[in-house]
A and B are shown apart, each in its own frame.
Chain A
Amino acid sequence: MSKLNSNVPTGDLDKRWDKHLFELSLIAPQNRAKYNVIVIGTGLAGASLCATLGESGYNVQSFCFNDSPRRAHSIAAQGGINASKNYQNDGDSTHRLFYDTMKGGDFRARESNVYRLAQLSGNIIDQAVSQGVPFAREYSGYLANRSFGGAQVSRTFYARGQTGQQLLLGAYSAMSKEVASGKVKHQSRAEMLEIILVDGKARGIVVRDLVSGEISAHTADCVVMCTGGYSNAFYLSTNAKGCNTSATWRAHKKGAFYANPSFTQIHPTCIPPTGENQSKLTLMSESLRNDGRIWAPKNIEDCAKDPREIAEEDRDYFLERMYPAFANLVPRDVASRAVKSICDEGRGIGTEIHGEKLGVYLDFSSIIERIGEDKVREKYGNLFDMYERISGENPYQLPMKIYPAPHYTMGGLWVDYNLMTTIDGLFAAGEANYSEHGANRLGASALMQGLADGYFIAPRTVANYLAKNKLEPVGLDHPDVVKAMDDVKDRINKLMNSPEPKHSPDYYHKKVGRILWSACGMSRERESLKAAIEEIKALQADFWQHVKVTGVDKDMNQTLERAGRVADFIELGHLMCRDALEREESCGCHARMEYLESDGEAKRDDENFAYVAAWEYSEDGAILNKEQLDFEFVKPSVRDYT
């Protein structure tokens, strides 16, 4: 008997959310001020949730580790946000967005959740426009759309290459309005280090003030985690340096199941690393694939040449060759694997690191020839400038060099239809939950999901939870609160005083990152996963024996912050490999070498693996729980992009 109850409503797919909304309990406006909600993380999901709960009249305490909610990594999303408005009259509909998301995720997501996301997508655009988000417009004054990331309809709304920034600033401003009204009490530079459970329910958190180093406890009626994804487990990723798994991992260790941790998206178009000391990778928006053509030299001896000197017939536009219908717009996982296979053949270009050249060209010469440099600048100016700043090369003259990099994590805390984890009263929204993207997320769908959760879903389901649970207040002297505080202090002590301090936190972070990238990155294989699991175990022991944190804990100490996060990445990395090992099929991002078609396509096994892997923490090793996925409305098909 599965311990997982997804609480999915029954009946017609398009009526489920409405029906569910009607069944959810309400709290009358005059009573809402009696309830307190903690929100951790104030990116798109968190800020939009704080704003909406605050407006409704609940008391919200929010926390973020940055110096302001406006810094959250949602801000870096470039390309756009999907919505099935069908403003372009090109055949889009709620059902098509639903189907595309299911198919893009390789049929490893829950139908009801995905349908609800598609249904709410239009409301998000309405909401953002009303906040003053300056989306791109046509000369007619109507909103502009583009086709994005493999979609055959134009449903993506955008604000030049800074859509995430504009949507986050919209959510942040809405949240700021509620900070001003007093309904949201926000604390920046505060990191959540433990979740407090009382009688099995999430009732609060322990927080470290990153300025003073003080540890404090905060209690409420329920807790919502909007703490983002864990791509930084790989060390080098496109995520902001601060992005981490600590909040979700602490919750996992207290009983929240972690779902599909090995489902990590590798984005095909990032700027390749140039050296050993590189601290992060930068994404070049997928929208560039609309107009740029990806190629590599046909002949290995051309790889060191100036690309402009390689004749047209000596260039291999491999995505156009392999996938004539979708060409350069195939989904991210398909594109990433194709790039990798070209580089594995030795046809990569760029800087050589560890004996490999990891890069292919993304070329704009044909579009520049066709529409002119000015038009290209208008469309992609900021991205081209960014590329030039980082690489020192002018992409109007030379093709960009790109290589895949970890970018987004579909895996995360398991949640039911109400976005509640397996801990009562602990919710997870946005990238922090595993939710709608299955085994692969479509471009421009992350912003959509974060905002659907924060503006429209969590506010209703959190209210329902509050209405149904009459909870006594928890004082700061409650034994469970004191215990959680003590646990946090003990852990900090251990990090500050390892038996034989020798290596910095970054040393360990790079190590676990390299293990994960080679064993649990773009391609996975049984034996190397088994080896990686052992390596990570050894690394974990080494870490606690030798990690070196300088400075003191009662002070601003970024080395200590990093050490705590790396410790959690190591443990999560172990689970990622176990999850990847257990899933003996290929699907979406998860490419098991043993289960690939001869042309490199994923060989899915719906009979045995059409489930969500929800891992339960246990001292003796994680326990696998399965949520079977039923497909009542879509027929899982083979993803064929040729």
Chain B
Amino acid sequence: MNFTLHIWRQKNAQSKGDFQTYQIEEIDSDTSFLEMLDQLNEQLIGKGEDCVVFDYDCREGICGACSLVINGHPHGEKKTTTTCQLYMREYANQNELWIEPFRADSFPVIKDVLTNRDAFDRIIQAGGYVSTNTGSAPDANAQLVKKADADAAFDAATCIGCGACVAVCPNASASLFVSAKIAHLDYLPQGKVQSDSRAVNMVRQMIIYLKARFRAIVVRLIWFVKWN
């Protein structure tokens, strides 16, 4: 398979970026999307050029490091699939790909298609935990949890924190990320004790990054959480 790649190149956070066009040929259909980019980078090294910088690590869809907006879709068009789990067989009918960084004020571009997602760490630091200290825990079976609640907590906790929800939202809101963590801990008796303050603190941290015109809405959301 052969592709024309339009890739966002940006020197750093301060500079203006633009799309650069590259050709890549003889890509096998079992090659993953990121392996295709690896091959492009090998070509660039061959020519003595600076490689395209992008985030990746586990390459099995769990660490949440990989990002990219592919043809306008964060993590590409395939549902419940991260960029690292996309294979070029998905693109058998296309020969032109547009590759961009996640776009959000709270995720500034560091270089090329790689962004800074520290905002998510700060949201967790604001309250996305149970304040238990090491060594103070009672026996794990001392407190029973309904299977349905444990399953629901897991479903929320499975969020990989990649930031695609922010990238896809027209308002660049982190509501999905935040509500997943709030829900995960609220379903469990261990987390319930701090549910109220957790929700308020995490939402407060989140709205720092929302554009001014949406702040009012979220303040109402906090009010709602507080009084319900």
CB of B121 within 8 A of CB of A176, answer yes
Q: Give the residue among A141, A166, A456 with the most B Cβ atoms within 10 A.
A: A141
Question: Residue A365 at the B interface, CB < 8 A?
Answer: no
Interface centre among B62, B85, B144 (most CB of A within 10 A): B62
- Interface-central residue, B28, B38, B87, B140, by most chain A CB under 10 Å: B140
Residue of A nearest to B112 (CB): A556
A147 is an interface residue with CB less than 8 A from chain B? no
Q: Are A52 and B134 neighbours in the complex by a CB distance under 8 Å?
A: yes
Cβ A165 vs Cβ B190 within 8 A? no
- Cβ B141 vs Cβ A143 within 8 A: yes
State whether A386 and B85 are in contact (beta carbons under 8 Å apart), knowing that A176-B125, A177-B131, A180-B125 are contacts in the complex. yes
The 0/1 profile, CB within 8 Å of A marked 1, for residues 151-187 of chain B is 1011001101100000000000000000000001101
Residues of B within 8 A of A278 (CB): 31, 35
A530 on the B face (CB < 8 A)? no
Interface residues on B, range: 35 or more
Given contacts A130-B132, A131-B129, A173-B128, contact A76 B147 (CB under 8 A): no
Expressed in whole angstroms, the Cα–Cα distance for A134 and B146 within the complex equals 11
Judge whether A279 and B35 touch: CB under 8 Å. yes
Quote the shortest CB–CB distance from B144 to chain A (angstroms): 3
- Identify the interface centre among B59, B61, B120, B191: most chain A CB within 10 Å of its CB: B59
Q: How far is the CB of B173 from chain A (nearest CB, A)?
A: 20
B144–A140 CB distance below 8 A: yes
Q: Which of B1-9, B43-51, B206-214, B215-223 participates in binding chain A? A: B43-51
Tell me the bound Cα distance from A75 to B46 in angstroms: 34
Which of B28, B50, B87, B160 contacts A277 (CB under 8 A)? Answer: B28
* B15-39 vs A, Cβ < 8 Å mask (1 yes, 0 no): 0000000000000101110110011
When distances are taken between beta carbons in the complex, the residues of chain A under 8 Å from B132 are 127, 130-131, 174
User: A279, B153: Cβ atoms under 8 Å?
Assistant: no
Residues of chain A within 8 A of B144, CB atoms compared:
140-142
- B126 located at the interface, meaning its Cβ lies under 8 Å from any Cβ of chain A in the complex: yes
CB of B85 within 8 A of CB of A506, answer no
What residues of B have a CB within 8 angstroms of the CB of A241 in the complex?
56-59
Contact B190 A550 (CB under 8 A): no
CA distance A160 to B151 in the complex (A): 9
- The reply to whether B55 and A67 contact each other, CB–CB distance below 8 Å, is yes
- How big is the A interface, by class? 35 or more
A392 to B85 CA separation, bound complex (whole angstroms): 11
**B42 adjacent to chain A (CB < 8 Å):** yes
B42–A504 touching, CB < 8 Å: yes
How many whole Å from A196's CB to the nearest CB in chain B? 27
> DSSP class of B's interface residues: helix, strand, loop or mixed?
loop
Q: Which residues on B sit within 8 Å (CB–CB) of A555? A: 12, 111
For residue B61, which residues in chain A have a CB less than 8 angstroms away from its CB? Answer: 386, 389
* Given known A-B contacts A71-B57, A386-B60, A176 and B124 have beta carbons under 8 A apart: yes
With A71-B63, A130-B137, A142-B144 in contact, is A279–B32 under 8 Å at CB? Answer: yes
Cα distance A130–B121 in the bound complex, in angstroms: 21
- Output the least CB separation between A283 and chain B (Å): 8
8 Å CB contact of B130 from A160, A173, A390? A173
Q: Is the CB of B129 within 8 A of A162?
A: no
Report the minimal beta-carbon distance from A441 to chain B, rounded to whole angstroms. Answer: 19
Q: Are A277 and B38 in contact (CB under 8 A)?
A: yes
**Is B188 a contact of A165 with CB atoms below 8 Å?**
no
A325–B140 CA distance with the chains assembled, in angstroms: 33
Chain B proximity mask over A174-212: 1 for CB below 8 Å, otherwise 0: 101101100000001000000000000000000000010
- A129 in contact with B137 (CB, 8 Å): yes
| B153 x A132 contact (CB < 8 A) | yes
CB pair A70–B64 under 8 Å, yes or no, is yes
Chain B residues within an 8 Å CB radius of A557: 50-51, 53
A176 to B128, CA, bound (A): 8
Q: Which residue of B lies closest to A174 (CB)?
A: B129
B95 CB-CB contact with A under 8 Å:
no
Instruction: Give the contacting residue for A134; candidates B32, B48, B117, B157; CB below 8 A.
Output: B157
| Contact pick for A550, options B32, B51, B110, CB 8 Å | B51
Smallest distance from the beta carbon of A559 to chain B beta carbons, Å? Answer: 5
Within A536-590, which residues are at the interface with B (CB < 8 Å)?
A: 548, 550-552, 555-559
Q: Which residue in chain B gives the minimum CB-CB distance to A275?
A: B28
- Please report which residues of chain A, range 193-234, place their CB below 8 angstroms from some CB of chain B when the two chains form the complex: 211
Which residue of the partner chain A has the closest CB to B36?
Answer: A277
> Is A240 a contact of B57 with CB atoms below 8 Å?
yes
User: Contact between A71 and B35 (Cβ–Cβ < 8 Å)?
Assistant: no
Interface assignment of A85: CB less than 8 Å from any CB of chain B:
yes
**A52, A166, A177, A392: the one within 8 Å of B154 (CB):** A166
Q: Given A134-B157, A136-B150, A240-B57, A68–B120 Cβ distance below 8 Å? A: yes
Contact (Cβ within 8 A) A188 B118: yes
Residues on A with beta carbons closer than 8 Å to the beta carbon of B118: 67-68, 188
With A73-B57, A188-B118, A556-B111 as known contacts, state yes or no: A389 contacts B81, CB within 8 Å: yes
Task: Say yes or no: A68-B134 contact (C-beta < 8 A), given A275-B30, A279-B35.
Answer: no
B161 neighbours in A (Cβ, 8 Å) = 68, 70
27 contacts between A and B (CB under 8 A): A52-B134, A67-B65, A71-B58, A75-B62, A76-B63, A123-B137, A128-B140, A129-B140, A130-B132, A132-B129, A132-B153, A137-B145, A137-B150, A159-B154, A159-B157, A173-B128, A176-B121, A241-B57, A277-B38, A279-B34, A282-B60, A392-B89, A550-B44, A556-B53, A556-B114, A559-B41, A559-B45
15 extra A-B contacts, CB within 8 A, seeds A240-B63, A242-B57, A550-B49: A70-B161, A73-B58, A73-B63, A126-B140, A129-B140, A135-B150, A162-B158, A176-B128, A275-B31, A278-B35, A280-B59, A386-B60, A455-B134, A548-B48, A550-B50
The 4 A-B pairs at the shortest CB distance, nearest first, are namely: A141-B144, A130-B137, A173-B129, A551-B50
